[in-house]
Amino acid sequence: MSDKSQRSLWAWGRVGDEPDADALAGAAANLGALLGFEIDGEVEQPTPFDADALAPARIETPPALSEIVTPDARARAERAWGSSYQDVIHGFRGDFRFAPDAVATPRDENQIEQVLEWAAAANAAVIPYGGGTSVVGGVRPEVPSGYDGVITLDMGEFDQLLELDDVSQAARIQAGAAGPVLEKALEAHGMTMRFYPQSFEFATLGGWIVTRAGGHFATVETHIDDLVESVRAITPSGLWQSFRLPASGAGPSPDRMLLGSEGTLGVVTESWVRVRPRPTRRAQASVLYERFEDGVDAVRAIAQSGLRPSNCRLIEAEEARFTLAGDGSAHLMVLGFESAGAAVDERFEQAKAIAVECGGVVLRSSGGTGPEGAASEGTGGGAKWRETFIRAPYIRNTLVACGVLAETFETVTTWDRFSALRDGVISAVAKTTDGRGKVTCRFTHIYPDGPAPYFTVLAPAARGDEVAQWQSIKEAVSEVLSINGASITHHHAVGRDHRPWYERQRPEPFAAALRAAKAELDPTGMLNPGCLFDPLRP
């Protein structure tokens, strides 16, 4: 069962998870030294929620739907933004200008159909909503003119493990199940989906599928795409259900059409996904590099070696320092292998040898055959880094209140173009922050032909003007990605915020084909208009 307690209106977490005044005062006193740039040291308090400041709802709930639809101001405000830096700032300042007119929380597919029928009759847009962790404006109910209202369709009641096929190792899971709920249900059967995005606590299976999310393991099955066996969705034109198959050569894949559809083609209600026994063997090492370039060479050599580690991340020294994964004196590679059966030791030793050949020094190394969670998990930089990884979203709450801008950019490119790309991002951040910002790089995922670099930008926030500041950094960095032929996203999706660069990236005939599919599946253009492409209205 999901935790149904209220989410914070601005912070990562639930009401009560926001940092308290004492913690913030302590942080403000030390943050400048930790981050390496000056901040003004003032702690700002979030604007208290004022229900009367919200625009009145423009559409009326039909009596037949009153049990699953609410026009409640708090519920509407909670779904007015997603989880990007600009979303957090708006919530922090009590600005809920894009609050939907109603929040529907259907309990079955029939009720989803009824909500879609209501939306068609009321000329309203519908925004499918999972965990609201979108960082690209994917759930922001900012719809173009021409609609008489907006309904956010929250999938929170669809949170059950429905079936487990332990012969084929697959599970049928409802789309609104968030990471912890889904993993707990599978754990009861000794299985795991082994899919850990950093937003794991709140993000849902349906959200992962339609945003083509990436888990925290660095190679092999990293994208949700690799784990999906079949998808079931309700579209305004009818039910979409694909066959359960391990693979298929029968024409273009219906699942792949929904993967990345970002709530514009249908509402995903459930999916069969591949699961596996929980790992029993793990091996992990932390390797240090004096020169970042040597770490890059090592990661590339490992990615091309065929050894397929479950983790192989390179983290810049400065980022390792302020995430407390290292002391900042060297760049850190976290190397890990795991298995529920075959031994990992030999592959682990070979990968370590490559890491050392490229100039690395092994700081800690542990594991190989021990049980999961025991000593083989290691207690070094790697284990510390993973803990910090899952807790990191909470740190942003403190940064925002203390006047620090925190934004991330993720992309993917080929190895031959990585270095120029990184230089371009560093220079764009320097220009847009007057040299006061800091940008660090790590690899979140690696492929034989290229890395997925993830850039973290931290800078003193222009208090009161953070959204414009954020926008200028976002545009400058996105331009660099585009000019260098890198993807506007590796796993954060397109939403509303990445559209200008996505439109340059996708071939025009493909865009036309997508628009035709949209017109067929969603003839009135009600689903998430403005996300992925211009709204199509008849």
Ligand X SMILES: Cc1cc2nc3c(=O)[nH]c(=O)nc-3n(C[C@H](O)[C@H](O)[C@H](O)COP(=O)(O)OP(=O)(O)OC[C@H]3O[C@@H](n4cnc5c(N)ncnc54)[C@H](O)[C@@H]3O)c2cc1C
Which residues of the chain form contacts with ligand X (CB under 6 A)? Answer: 82-83, 127-135, 138-139, 155, 175, 197-199, 202-204, 206-208, 210-211, 213-214, 262-263, 267-268, 393, 491-493, 528, 531
Backbone angles phi, psi at 3, to 5 degrees: -75, 115
Strands (E), 316-437: 331-339, 361-367, 404-410
Environment class of 356 (CB within 10 Å of its CB; exposed 0-12, middle 13-18, buried 19+): middle
CB of 41 to ligand X, least distance (A): 25
Helix (H) or strand (E) holding 162: strand 161-165
Closer residue to ligand X in complex, CB, 345/534: 534
Strand partners, 526: none
What would the two tokens of residue 119 be?
A: 């939306």
Backbone angles phi, psi at 257, to 5 degrees: -75, -35
Nearest distance, CB of residue 82 and ligand X, angstroms: 5
| Smaller CB separation from ligand X, 175 or 314 | 175
- Non-local (6+) Cβ contacts of 110 within 8 A are none
Contact (Cβ atoms closer than 8 angstroms) between residue 73 and residue 57: no
- Asked whether the CA dihedral 171, 175, 181, 183 is positive or negative, the reply is positive
Nearest alpha-carbon partner for 366 in 262, 282, 434: 282
* Nearer of residues 297 and 410 to ligand X, judged by Cβ: 410
Name which of 3 and 166 has its Cβ closer to ligand X.
Answer: 3
Please, which residue, 258 or 428, has the CB nearer to ligand X? Answer: 258
Q: How far apart are CA 538 and CA 483, in angstroms?
A: 35
Smallest distance, Å, CB 291 to ligand X? Answer: 27
Q: How near is the Cβ of 492 to ligand X at its closest, in Å?
A: 5
The DSSP H or E segment spanning 161 is strand 161-165
Residue nearest ligand X (C-beta atom): 207
Are 29 and 20 spatial neighbours (Cβ–Cβ below 8 Å)? no
Q: Which residues on adjacent β-strands are paired with residue 172?
A: 163, 272
The nearer residue to ligand X, 116 or 355, going by C-beta atoms, is 116
Query: What residue ranges in 187-280 does DSSP mark as E strands?
Result: 191-192, 228-235, 238-241, 267-274, 276-277
Reading phi first (left if > 0) and then psi (alpha if -120 to 50, else beta), residue 37 is in: beta
Q: How far is the CB of 347 from ligand X (least distance, A)?
A: 25
**DSSP-assigned letter for residue 204:** B
Rounded to a whole number of angstroms, the minimum distance from the CB of residue 491 to ligand X is 4
Closer CB to ligand X, residue 133 or residue 413?
133
> Smallest distance from the beta carbon of 200 to ligand X, in angstroms?
8
Q: For ligand X, give the closer residue by CB, 207 or 403.
A: 207
Beta carbon of residue 210, minimum distance to ligand X (angstroms, whole number): 4
Please say which residue, 150 or 307, places its beta carbon nearer to ligand X. 150
Calpha distance 14→7 (Å, rounded): 4
Least distance in Å: CB of 407 to ligand X?
A: 11
Q: Closest separation between CB of residue 144 and ligand X, Å?
A: 16
Q: Which of 332, 489, 328 is nearest to 408 (CA)?
A: 489
Instruction: Pick between residue 87 and residue 338 the one whose CB is nearest to ligand X.
Output: 87
Going by their DSSP bridges, the two strands 331-339 and 281-289 should be labelled as antiparallel
Cβ of residue 267: shortest distance to ligand X, in angstroms?
5
Give the C-alpha separation, 10 to 526, whole Å: 27
Nearer to ligand X, 211 or 310 (CB): 211
- The set of residues, in sequence order, having a beta carbon less than 8 Å from that of 488 and lying 6+ positions away, is 411, 478, 481, 482, 494, 498, 501, 502, 505
